[in-house]
């Protein structure tokens, strides 16, 4: 007699709970776009020095992804979410002493701790949502969750610009970050406590303790390795654009806007990502995620190129429109990268989150280009990044049997 099949876990409530985590890390991450012009004015930095903000923040993804995947394997998804929120809260609290001194180095240190917490959240939350239901709807589901991440990124620039940039360059400039980040710390600690009290369903199919086939390795899966490169260039392009928007819109030949006014327009960039993710979640129920990804990346490339080739209204709104097509990229690359990896999913997630270090390196390189050839022409760098994502969407994301992928990995790495 066959054993009765266990009922599937109730995932709707779990998805709702985890979605709040996506919102919070989106909100906190994009506040960096407001810190960039604020700290640039406060400490009289050039573009290269200013991009150390994003370099420090996103380097934590590279350094902490492997430790985070090990923590995930040891304590599980729910406790990893709680721990990540706690570390984020600690990082937000460190903004208080950094503003008292004030010290650019201390601000960078606080950002690194904050990003370390987000790294653990990303390693745990993205694969958890992707696997919290039918495999064929994984990209659609993660796009939906990431839409609420984009809600946070949409609200943050407008609110941060109102509170933080109002005092930029004035003697009280450093103190303007205290109240916002103390409030963020309180919210993060409260959310960590709330999630610790919720019961989130286990997902045994992707738990590492259930075993990995002998000889199997994440490096044998071509679609994962190429996906990590795609995450690197995508996050690099997205963060580069977002980081430079306030200064870009302030240029007399683009918008000639005051920084506080320009910050409001940054919300349109991130708001486009929110709208696009809701749309993408619906579209992917009928169109394959890989095709949606390739098409979106092609549109982003054309829009960035149009901004570089123009000035004024056209340059300004074409770069803002890139946000709409950025929308589907991260969640779609992520789900394509971890597809059919089973118990390797946790390690694969760690590799993909490590690739977010692109958000540290690409903006720094764009800062060097902006200092040498001008902020306008420097946007060619993210345009090139989108070309690679076109390749990954249409070709690189195809799953090849591990025996063939093993040869690929050995020959390329």
- Residues 6 or more apart in contact with residue 60 via CB below 8 angstroms: 112, 115, 116, 118, 119
Of how many residues is the chain composed? 413
Residue linked to tokens 């919300």: 267
How far is Cα 46 from Cα 368, in angstroms, rounded to an integer?
A: 10
The arrangement of secondary structure in 12-201+215-408, i.e. its CATH architecture, is Up-down Bundle (1.20)
Q: How distant, in Å, are the alpha carbons of 131, 141, 158, 325 from that of 270? A: 26, 20, 10, 11
How far is Cα 150 from Cα 147, in angstroms, rounded to an integer?
A: 5
Query: Phi-psi category of 133—alpha, beta or left, where left has phi over 0 and alpha has psi -120 to 50?
Result: left
The 10 Å CB-count burial string (b at 16+, else e) for 119-137 is bbbbbbbbbbbbbbbeeeb
How far is Cα 98 from Cα 254, in angstroms, rounded to an integer?
A: 34
Residue linked to tokens 């958890």: 128
Q: Contact, 236 vs 359, CB < 8 A?
A: yes
Supply the angle between the helices 104-130 and 12-30 in degrees, to the nearest 10: 160
Q: Which of 374, 359, 156 is nearest to 271 (CA)?
A: 156
Residue linked to tokens 């776009």: 33
* CA-only gyration radius of the chain, Å: 21
Tens of pLDDT along the chain (413 residues) come to 444 444 344 566 778 888 888 888 888 888 887 887 888 888 888 888 888 887 888 888 889 988 988 898 888 888 899 999 999 999 999 999 988 888 889 999 999 999 999 999 988 888 888 777 777 777 788 888 888 887 887 788 778 777 776 544 443 457 778 888 899 999 999 999 988 888 777 665 555 555 555 567 888 889 999 999 999 999 999 989 988 998 899 999 998 988 878 878 888 888 888 888 888 888 988 899 999 999 999 999 999 999 999 999 999 999 999 999 998 999 899 999 988 887 787 788 889 988 988 988 898 899 999 999 999 999 999 999 999 999 999 999 998 866 544 443 333 33
Q: Would you state the structure tokens that stand for residue 127, as one six-digit string?
A: 């694969």
Torsion of CA 120, 121, 122, 123, to 10 degrees: 50
How far is Cα 142 from Cα 207, in angstroms, rounded to an integer?
A: 19
Main-chain phi, psi angles of 5, to 5 degrees: -75, 135
Query: Phi-psi category of 125—alpha, beta or left, where left has phi over 0 and alpha has psi -120 to 50?
Result: alpha
Q: What is the pLDDT of residue 272?
A: 87
- Residues 6 or more apart in contact with residue 145 via CB below 8 angstroms: 15, 18, 19, 22, 125, 129, 331
Q: How distant, in Å, are the alpha carbons of 127, 187, 190 from that of 39? A: 35, 24, 29
SS (H, E, C) 241-298: HHHHHHHHHHCCCCCCCCHHHHHHHHHHHHHHHHHHHHHHHHHCCCCCHHHHHHHHHH
Q: What is the pLDDT of residue 248?
A: 92
Cα four-point dihedral sign 39, 45, 47, 49: negative
Peptide bond into 65 cis (omega under 30): no
Peptide bond into 102 cis (omega under 30): yes
Q: Contact, 231 vs 330, CB < 8 A?
A: yes
Residue linked to tokens 């949606």: 292
Q: Which of 135, 201, 204 is nearest to 399 (CA)?
A: 135
């Amino acid at each position: 007699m066959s054993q009765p099949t266990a009922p599937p876990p109730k995932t709707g409530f779990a998805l709702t709970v985890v979605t709040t985590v996506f919102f919070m890390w989106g909100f906190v991450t994009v506040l960096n776009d407001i810190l960039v012009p604020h700290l640039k004015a406060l400490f009289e930095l050039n573009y290269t020095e200013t991009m150390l903000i994003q370099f420090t923040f996103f380097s934590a993804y590279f350094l902490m992804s492997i430790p985070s995947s090990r923590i995930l394997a040891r304590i599980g998804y729910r406790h990893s979410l709680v721990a990540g929120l706690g570390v984020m809260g600690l990082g937000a609290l460190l903004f208080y002493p950094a503003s008292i001194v004030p010290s650019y180095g201390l601000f960078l240190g606080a950002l690194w701790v904050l990003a370390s917490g987000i790294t653990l959240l990303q390693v745990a939350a993205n694969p958890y949502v992707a696997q919290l239901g039918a495999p064929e709807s994984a990209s659609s589901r993660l796009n939906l969750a990431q839409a609420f991440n984009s809600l946070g990124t949409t609200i943050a620039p407008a609110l941060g610009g109102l509170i933080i940039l109002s005092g930029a360059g004035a003697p009280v400039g450093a103190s303007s970050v205290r109240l916002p980040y103390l409030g963020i710390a309180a919210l993060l600690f409260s959310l960590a406590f709330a999630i610790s009290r919720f019961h989130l369903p286990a997902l045994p199919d992707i738990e590492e303790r259930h075993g990995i086939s002998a000889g199997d390795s994440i490096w044998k899966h071509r679609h994962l390795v190429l996906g990590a490169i795609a995450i690197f260039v995508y996050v690099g392009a997205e963060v580069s654009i977002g980081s430079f928007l306030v200064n870009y819109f302030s240029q007399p030949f683009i918008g000639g806007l005051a920084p506080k006014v320009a910050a409001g327009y940054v919300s349109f960039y991130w708001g486009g990502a929110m709208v696009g993710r809701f749309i993408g979640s619906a579209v992917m129920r009928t169109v394959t995620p890989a095709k949606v990804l390739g098409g979106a990346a092609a549109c982003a490339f054309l829009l960035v190129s149009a901004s570089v080739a123009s000035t004024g209204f056209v340059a300004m709104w074409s770069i803002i429109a890139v946000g709409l097509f950025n929308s589907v990229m991260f969640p779609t690359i992520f789900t394509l990268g971890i597809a059919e990896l089973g118990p390797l999913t946790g390690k694969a997630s760690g590799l993909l989150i490590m690739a977010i270090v692109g958000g540290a390196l690409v903006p720094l390189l764009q800062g060097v280009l902006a200092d040498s050839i001008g902020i306008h022409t420097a946007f060619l760098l993210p345009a090139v990044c989108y070309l690679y994502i076109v390749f990954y969407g249409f070709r690189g994301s195809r799953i090849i049997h591990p025996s063939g992928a093993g040869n690929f990995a050995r020959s390329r790495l």
